[in-house]
Each structure stands twice: as C-alpha cells, then as structure tokens.
C-alpha cells in the first residue's frame, strides 16, 4: 500500500481530467458565429479577417477537424486572437447547386477560408479543402496577414 500512496497523491492533484482540465492559458472552445451578416460586420468593426469553416453534420473529416484541429489550444488561441470565426453549415445542401456553396466556391467539405469580404471572392481569399492537422491549420492561419 505504501507504494500506491504517491500515485494516489499525484492522481488527486491532477484531478479527474488527468491534469488536462482547462487552465488559465487555455483559450476555451472557438465561439463560432453562425450568422454571415454578423460575422462580416464584426470583421469590419475589428479589422480582423473572417475565418470560414464550411462543414456538415454528415462530414466525417469535419468532425475529425472539430475533435483534433479546432480543439487544439494553439489553434483556438490563434483563431480567437486574429480572426472572426464563422461556421457555415452545409448539412442540408448536398445537391451541388446551392447558391451559398457557389458564392463561397465550396466544392468539397471541409473547406476553410480566410477573407475580408462576404462570399470570400477567390482573388482575395485563402482556401484549404480537406482535413488539416493542427500544424497544417496553424500554417494556414499564419499565411493570412
């Protein structure tokens, strides 16, 4: 039992989350704006570009991005510091000829765009399509200045 005591003491200090509970430097989850008009108004007000996450409930890669990329503390911190996060839900838009998909140039999901104008015109938007790991996302975010 005496060998177990130090382990129990460490476990008690770490808590039920194993020391992974959110600390003061953890930025918390990304607070996605779901309204395009509001996001671009906020972008105009703050001067920050809009970071668009085009996703769908049925998109496996989108869910992996939520689990591994958007949940990464460094990614979350960078998004919250430098961008206005906008999430566009394409769950019900699967036929291929939806005006919103066309206006953003979304051909596959997930698609992440960084832009300053509504619709993210191709000439002024950065775009990434497909699953991005945290390091890849950070490189993408760093490219938008």
Tens of pLDDT, residues 62-100: 999 999 999 999 999 999 999 999 999 999 876 655 777
What is the pTM assigned to this prediction?
A: 0.78
What pLDDT, on a 0 to 100 scale, did the predictor assign at position 4?
A: 45
Q: For the chain, which residues make up each domain, given as ranges? A: 29-142
What pLDDT, on a 0 to 100 scale, did the predictor assign at position 83?
A: 97
DSSP bridge pairs for 55: 89
Rounded distance between C-alpha atoms, residue 113 and residue 38, angstroms:
17
pLDDT at 1 over 70: no
pLDDT at 131 over 90: yes
What pLDDT, on a 0 to 100 scale, did the predictor assign at position 3?
A: 55
Per the structure block, which two tokens stand in for 88?
């566009």
pLDDT at 58 over 50: yes
Q: Which carries the bigger pLDDT value, residue 66 or residue 124?
A: 66
CATH superfamily of this structure's domain 29-142: Glutaredoxin (3.40.30.10)
């Amino acid at each position: 039992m005496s060998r177990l005591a130090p382990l129990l003491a460490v476990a008690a200090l770490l808590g039920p989350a194993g020391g992974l509970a959110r600390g003061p430097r953890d930025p918390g989850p990304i607070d996605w704006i779901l309204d395009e008009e509001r996001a671009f108004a906020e972008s105009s007000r703050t001067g920050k570009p809009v970071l668009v996450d085009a996703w769908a409930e049925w998109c496996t890669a989108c869910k992996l991005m939520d689990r591994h990329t958007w949940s990464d503390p460094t990614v979350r911190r960078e998004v919250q510091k430098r961008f206005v996060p906008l999430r566009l839900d394409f769950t019900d838009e699967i036929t291929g000829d939806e005006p919103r998909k066309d206006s953003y140039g979304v051909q596959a999901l997930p698609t992440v765009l960084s832009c300053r104008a509504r619709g993210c015109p191709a000439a002024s938007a950065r775009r990434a399509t497909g699953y991005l790991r945290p390091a890849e996302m950070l490189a993408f975010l760093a490219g938008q200045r």
